Amino acid sequence: MIQFQDAEADRALFEHALEFAEKQVASLIRLHPMYYPLYTQQGKWKHEGQAWTHWCDGFLPGMMWIFEARHNKASDEAKFWLENAIRYTEPLEPRKFDRDVHDLGFIFLSSYYRWYRLTREPRLNDVLIQAGRTLALRFQDKGQYLSSFVAANSLFIDIMMNVGIIFYAARETNDATLREIALRHCYTTRRYLVRGDGSTAHEGLFDLDTGEFLRQSTHQGWRGDSCWSRGLTWSLYGFTTAYEFSRDPHFLGTAQACADYYIAHTPAGGVPPWDFNAPLERRTQVDTSAAAIAAAGLLRLCRHVPDPAKGHFYWSTALRILETLARDYLAEGDPSWEGILKGGVYHIHKNLGVNESVMWGEYFFVEALDEALRRLQAAGVR
Ligand code: GLY
Substitution candidate for ligand 1 out of 156, 158, 200 with most atoms within 8 A of CB: 158
Residues 6+ apart with CB under 8 A from 310: 256
pLDDT at residue 381 in the model: 86
Round to whole Å and give the CA distance between 286 and 229: 9
- Give yes or no for residue 158 CB within 6 A of ligand 1: yes
CATH class of 7-378: mainly alpha
- Give yes or no for residue 185 CB within 6 A of ligand 1: no
CA of 163 from ligand 1 middle (Å) equals: 15
- Give yes or no for residue 55 CB within 6 A of ligand 1: yes
- Looking at residue 162, its amino acid is N
Is residue 376 within 8 A of residue 10, CB to CB? The reply is yes
Residues facing 344 on adjacent strands: 356
Please give the DSSP secondary-structure letter assigned to residue 155.
Answer: E
Atom of ligand 1 nearest to the CA of 230: 5
Residue of minimum CA distance from atom 2 in ligand 1: 158
- Give yes or no for residue 96 CB within 6 A of ligand 1: no
- Give yes or no for residue 230 CB within 6 A of ligand 1: yes
Atom of ligand 1 nearest to the CA of 289: 5
Please give the DSSP secondary-structure letter assigned to residue 103.
Answer: -
Distances (CA, A) of 132 to 98, 135, 175, 279, 364: 11, 5, 11, 39, 21
Substitution candidate for ligand 1 out of 39, 230, 288, 359 with most atoms within 8 A of CB: 230
Atom of ligand 1 nearest to the CA of 346: 4
CA of 138 from ligand 1 middle (Å) equals: 18
Residues 6+ apart with CB under 8 A from 132: 104, 165, 166, 167, 168, 169, 170, 178
pLDDT at residue 5 in the model: 59
Distances (CA, A) of 189 to 156, 229, 258, 316: 8, 16, 13, 28
Helices and strands in the chain, H and E counts: 13, 7
Residue 187, judged by CB atoms within 10 A of its CB (0-12, 13-18, 19+), counts as middle
pLDDT at residue 109 in the model: 98
pLDDT at residue 1 in the model: 39
Is the pTM higher than 0.85? The answer reads: yes
Residues 6+ apart with CB under 8 A from 104: 95, 96, 98, 131, 132, 134, 135, 162, 165
pLDDT truncated to tens, each residue of the chain (382 aa)?
344 558 899 999 999 999 999 999 999 999 999 999 999 999 999 999 999 999 999 999 999 999 999 999 999 999 999 999 999 999 999 999 999 999 999 999 999 999 999 999 999 999 999 999 999 999 999 999 999 999 999 999 999 999 999 999 999 999 999 999 999 999 999 999 999 999 999 999 999 999 999 999 999 999 999 999 999 999 999 999 999 999 999 999 999 999 999 999 999 999 999 999 999 999 999 999 999 999 999 999 999 999 999 999 999 999 999 999 999 999 999 999 999 999 999 999 999 999 999 999 999 999 999 999 999 999 988 7
CA of 4 from ligand 1 middle (Å) equals: 35
Q: Helix, strand or coil for residue 102? A: coil
